[in-house]
């Protein structure tokens, strides 16, 4: 009976891991991580700060009055 319980646990864990991998892999493939292509560098910190300041100047700070 212990062998049956062991295989039930193995099947449940394998199913869960497969489910999680199924959700994790597509975003990596979308950015080219798994295809051997170079991943593009994101926006620099200075550029992000400029965008943030621009949003604040436009009044889009998200604060309600």
What is the model's pLDDT at position 15? 96
pLDDT at 2: 84
Q: What is the mean pLDDT of each run of 10 residues along the chain (65 residues)?
A: 91 95 82 66 85 86 55
Q: How far apart, in whole angstroms, are the C-alpha atoms of residue 37 and residue 14? A: 30
pTM, rounded to two decimals: 0.45
d(CA 47, CA 53): 10
* Distance from C-alpha of 28 to C-alpha of 52, rounded to nearest angstrom: 27
């Amino acid at each position: 009976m212990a062998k049956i319980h062991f295989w039930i646990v193995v099947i449940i864990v394998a199913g869960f891991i497969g489910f999680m991998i199924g959700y994790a892999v597509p975003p990596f493939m979308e950015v080219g991580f798994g295809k051997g292509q170079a991943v593009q560098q994101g926006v620099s910190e200075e550029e992000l700060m400029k965008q943030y300041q621009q949003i604040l100047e436009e009044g889009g700070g998200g604060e309600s009055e």
